[in-house]
C-alpha cells in the first residue's frame, strides 16, 4: 500500500528536493507516492516549509505528521489548525554548514584578521593574538547546532562555555543554565555566539542589561534568529565601545532594509542569511527515516515541544 506524501513548500523548491526525496525513499524501500498536489483526505505525511501556501491543516485528517524542512519552527508551531506531531529539521548538511560559518567568524575575531585584511593607511601593524586556549567563546543555545559548533571549537583549543534553558552535560564544555546561569555565561564570553530558537522566552535575550554582563571589548556573532537581539541596544554598545564588533546573519526583517544602520556601521558585518540552509540531499534522508519510523511505530525524530516552542 502506497504512503502518500505531500510536498508543501514553495513551488520553486520542488525541482531541488524531488530527486533527493525519491532517492531517499528508494534507499529505504518505502512505497511512497510523492506529489505537490493530492486530495487532503488521502495525505499520510506533509513535508513542509513554513512559507508554503498551506496554512490550514484542518482538511488533512488522515495525516500522521508534519515534517518541517527548516530548523526553525516559530512560524508554524503556533498554528491552531495543526493538531498532529510536528518534527523540526535536524539536517547533517545544515549542521556542517553552520559549524563552518561560525568557526570562520570566531577565528576572524580571534585572530584580529580585519585589521590585516583592510590595512588602513598602509600602516604596518604588529599584532600577536592570544592562543585559542586563552580565548573564551560562549554559545547561547546548546541544541544540535550549538553542540556541533562547540565540538569544533574545542578541537581548535578554545575554552568553550555553553548556555541552555535546561541543564545539559556536554563533554569539554563548561555548561550553564537558567537565569542565573545566563549571567555567568555572559560574563566570560569574549566571543558570544547566538544559536537559540526564536521563542517568546528568547526574544531580545541580548539587550542593554545582558550586554552589560559581557566583558569589555567582546564580539557578538548571530547566525541564530534576528529577534534574539535588541538592535538598538546592540548599536549603543558598539558605539560606546562595550562591544568590539558584531557579525549578523539573521535579522528581524529580511532582506535587511537598505536604510538599516547595520549596513553602514564600521563594527558590523552583515551576511545575507547564509550561515546554514537545509541541504536537499541530506535533509531527504532525515525525512525518509522519519516516515519509516512513523510507519513502523517507532518514535519520530526531532519532535517539537509545543509548550517550549521548539
- Asked whether this chain's domains 3-91+278-296 and 92-270 adopt the same fold, the reply is yes
Mean pLDDT of the chain: 96
Asked if 195 contacts 224 with a C-beta cutoff of 8 angstroms, the reply is: yes
> pLDDT, tens digit, for every residue of 22-45?
999 999 999 999 999 999 999 999
How large is the average pLDDT for residues 243-252?
98
For domain 3-91+278-296, give the CATH superfamily. NAD(P)-binding Rossmann-like Domain (3.40.50.720)
What are the residue boundaries of the structural domains of the chain, listed by start?
Answer: 3-91+278-296, 92-270
Q: Can you give the pLDDT at residue 304?
A: 96
What is the distance between the alpha carbons of residues 264 and 266, in angstroms, rounded to a whole number? 6
**Which residues make beta-bridge pairs with 136?**
159
What is the distance between the alpha carbons of residues 107 and 58, in angstroms, rounded to a whole number? 48
pLDDT exceeds 70 at position 282: yes
* Residue 120 pLDDT class (50, 70, 90 cuts): low
Judged on CB neighbours under 10 Å (0-12, 13-18, 19+), 213 is middle
How large is the average pLDDT for residues 210-224?
98
Instruction: Name the residues annotated as catalytic.
Output: 225, 273
Cell 556542517 found at? 96
pLDDT exceeds 70 at position 144: yes
What is the distance between the alpha carbons of residues 26 and 130, in angstroms, rounded to a whole number? 51
How far CA 69 is from CA of 34, 46, 52, 170, 222, in Å, comes to 15, 10, 11, 27, 21
How large is the average pLDDT for residues 75-97?
96
Judged on CB neighbours under 10 Å (0-12, 13-18, 19+), 112 is middle
Annotation: CATH topology of 92-270: Rossmann fold (3.40.50)
pLDDT exceeds 80 at position 126: no
Q: How many CA atoms lie within 13 A of 221 on its CB side?
A: 25
Asked if 201 contacts 174 with a C-beta cutoff of 8 angstroms, the reply is: no
Percent of the chain with pLDDT over 70: 98
pLDDT exceeds 80 at position 132: yes
How large is the average pLDDT for residues 245-271?
97
What is the distance between the alpha carbons of residues 271 and 256, in angstroms, rounded to a whole number? 10
What is the distance between the alpha carbons of residues 246 and 157, in angstroms, rounded to a whole number? 22
* In the chain, alpha helices (H): 14-27, 92-111, 113-118, 144-156, 178-187, 208-211, 231-239, 280-296
pLDDT exceeds 80 at position 117: no
Q: How many CB atoms lie within 10 A of CB 74?
A: 18
Q: Order of strands, edge to edge, in the sheet holding 65-68?
A: 32-35, 3-8, 45-48, 65-68, 86-87
**Which residues make beta-bridge pairs with 206?**
229
Q: Can you give the pLDDT at residue 149?
A: 98
Higher per-residue confidence, 271 vs 310: 271
pLDDT exceeds 70 at position 262: yes
Asked if 193 contacts 221 with a C-beta cutoff of 8 angstroms, the reply is: yes
* Residue 264 pLDDT class (50, 70, 90 cuts): very high
Instruction: Calculate the dihedral angle through the C-alpha atoms of 59, 78, 140, 175, rounding to the nearest 10 degrees.
Output: -80
Amino acid at each position: 500500500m502506497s504512503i502518500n506524501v505531500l510536498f508543501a513548500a514553495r513551488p520553486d523548491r520542488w525541482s531541488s528536493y524531488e530527486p533527493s526525496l525519491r532517492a531517499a525513499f528508494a534507499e529505504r524501500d518505502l512505497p511512497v507516492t510523492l506529489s505537490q498536489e493530492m486530495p487532503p483526505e488521502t495525505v499520510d505525511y506533509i513535508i513542509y516549509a513554513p512559507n508554503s501556501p498551506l496554512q490550514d491543516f484542518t482538511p488533512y485528517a488522515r495525516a500522521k505528521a508534519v515534517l518541517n524542512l527548516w530548523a526553525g519552527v516559530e512560524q508554524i508551531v503556533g498554528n491552531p489548525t495543526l493538531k498532529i506531531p510536528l518534527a523540526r529539521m535536524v539536517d547533517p548538511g545544515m549542521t556542517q554548514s553552520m559549524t563552518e560559518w561560525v568557526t570562520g567568524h570566531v577565528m576572524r575575531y580571534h585572530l584580529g584578521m580585519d585589521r590585516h585584511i583592510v590595512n588602513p593607511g598602509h600602516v604596518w601593524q604588529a599584532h600577536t593574538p592570544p592562543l585559542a586556549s586563552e580565548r573564551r567563546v560562549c554559545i547561547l543555545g546548546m541544541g544540535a547546532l550549538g553542540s556541533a559548533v562547540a565540538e569544533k571549537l574545542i578541537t581548535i583549543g578554545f575554552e568553550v562555555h555553553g548556555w541552555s534553558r535546561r541543564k545539559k552535560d556536554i563533554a569539554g564544555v563548561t555548561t550553564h543554565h537558567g537565569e542565573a546561569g545566563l549571567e555567568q555565561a555572559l560574563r566570560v564570553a569574549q566571543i558570544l555566539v547566538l544559536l537559540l530558537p526564536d521563542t517568546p522566552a528568547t526574544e531580545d535575550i541580548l539587550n542593554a542589561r545582558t550586554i552589560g554582563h559581557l566583558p569589555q571589548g567582546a564580539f557578538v556573532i548571530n547566525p541564530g534568529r534576528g529577534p534574539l537581539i535588541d538592535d538598538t541596544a546592540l548599536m549603543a554598545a558598539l558605539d560606546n565601545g562595550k562591544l568590539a564588533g558584531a557579525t549578523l546573519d539573521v535579522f528581524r526583517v529580511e532582506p535587511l532594509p537598505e536604510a538599516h544602520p547595520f549596513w553602514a556601521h564600521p563594527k558590523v558585518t552583515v551576511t545575507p542569511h547564509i550561515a546554514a540552509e537545509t541541504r536537499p540531499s541530506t535533509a531527504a534522508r532525515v525525512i525518509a527515516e522519519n516516515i519509516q519510523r512513523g510507519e513502523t511505530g517507532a518514535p519520530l525524530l526531532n519532535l517539537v515541544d509545543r509548550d517550549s516552542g521548539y
